[in-house]
Amino acid sequence: MAYLSDPKETIAVLQRYRFNFQKKFGQNFLIDGHVLSKIVDAAGVTKEDVVLEIGPGIGTMTQVLCESAKEVVAVEIDRNLIPILTEDTCREYDNLTVINEDVLKLDIAEVARKHGGKPLKVVANLPYYITTPIIMGILEKHAPVAGITVMVQKEVAERMQAGPGSKDYGALSLAVQYYADAYIAAFVPPNCFMPRPNVGSAVIRLTIRETPAVSVKDEKMLFSVIRAAFAQRRKTLVNGLGNSDEVPCSKEEAAAILASMGLPETVRGETLSLAQFAQIADALVK
């Protein structure tokens, strides 16, 4: 079987099926074998694993995953790609299940149950326009997932890994780090894709924590506080909390909570740690 990491093979498949890239699906197919190896290595895929691949495209990474994993469940939203995967590029793999579905509507817990019940490893070259909803959907639903290794826009990867005080630190950093340990495995230039994206990319691995990074009385309140803190970055935390429709807190109450933590009224959200946000959330629950 010809491997699709060879650009000539990718072009041949696209021409054979007269496939047109769909901008609405954010389709950029990988054409670099070294990058594929880095993704699979970073994910730690073994013959004991069931892998959930999101957006397999024409099967470039699917081929490598099928040869590395026990089973692969590939979820593809574009129905035009289904016959390419099942009848052509991946037809020889008997450990592959292809699902024509929007992953945001997929019951990942049900997928895990159908394939032995063990937590899945998520591996994907994600469409950049929907990266955050996909990742946060998996994390917030506490889906049975051991790790998430994905190709994302470079700036998004840097935000996921960022710490307090950095320009990339924000609500996404805190949300991801609450649930997982984030590690950037590789940076990937645009020429590794077809068609070329306008931005650089990165492979990031999220290792799901057995328990969240901090303990909170109300997880929903924690994320309401975080969203309020970063809704308008230039505002102080007191103003952010006091003006939020999600947080039951006046500016005076916010100032009092910060004072009890030894923080000034002028403090901004980007300087606080996840543990400090948890303290604020717990104070509001009281």
Q: Is the pLDDT of residue 22 over 60?
A: yes
In degrees, to the nearest 5, what angle opens at C-alpha 73 toward C-alphas 41 and 67? 45
Q: Is the pLDDT of residue 50 over 60?
A: yes
Mean pLDDT to the nearest integer, 204-217: 96
State the pLDDT at residue 188: 97
State the pLDDT at residue 195: 87
Domain locations in the chain as residue ranges: 7-208, 219-285
What is the pTM for the complete model shown? 0.91
Q: Model confidence at 235, in pLDDT bands (50, 70, 90)?
A: confident
The tens digit of pLDDT for each residue in 236-279 reads 999 999 999 999 999 999 999 999 999 999 999 999 999 999 99
Q: Is the pLDDT of residue 2 over 60?
A: no
Intrachain domains 7-208 and 219-285 with the same fold: no
Element (H, E) at 76: strand 71-76
Q: Are 277 and 222 in contact (CB under 8 A)?
A: yes
Q: Model confidence at 27, in pLDDT bands (50, 70, 90)?
A: confident
Least confident range from 8-12, 117-121, 266-270: namely 8-12
Distance CA 59, CA 106 (A): 20
Tell which residue, 134, 167, 19, 165, has the closest CA to residue 85.
19
Q: Model confidence at 8, in pLDDT bands (50, 70, 90)?
A: confident
Q: Is the pLDDT of residue 1 over 70?
A: no
State the pLDDT at residue 239: 94
State the architecture of 7-208 in CATH terms.
Answer: 3-Layer(aba) Sandwich (3.40)
Helical pair 171-179 and 219-230, crossing angle rounded to 10 deg: 150
Q: Model confidence at 202, in pLDDT bands (50, 70, 90)?
A: very high
Place of tokens 């019951």: 107
State the pLDDT at residue 165: 92
Tell which residue, 154, 180, 178, 158, has the closest CA to residue 169.
158
Place of tokens 């790790």: 147
Question: Which residues are CB-contacts of 173 (< 8 A; sequence separation ≥ 6)?
Answer: 159, 160, 161, 162, 163
The token pair that represents 65 in the structure block: 């995953």
Instruction: Look at domain 219-285 and name its CATH class.
Output: mainly alpha
CA–CA distances in Å: residue 228 to residues 71, 94, 162, 163, 233: 42, 48, 19, 18, 9
State the pLDDT at residue 20: 84
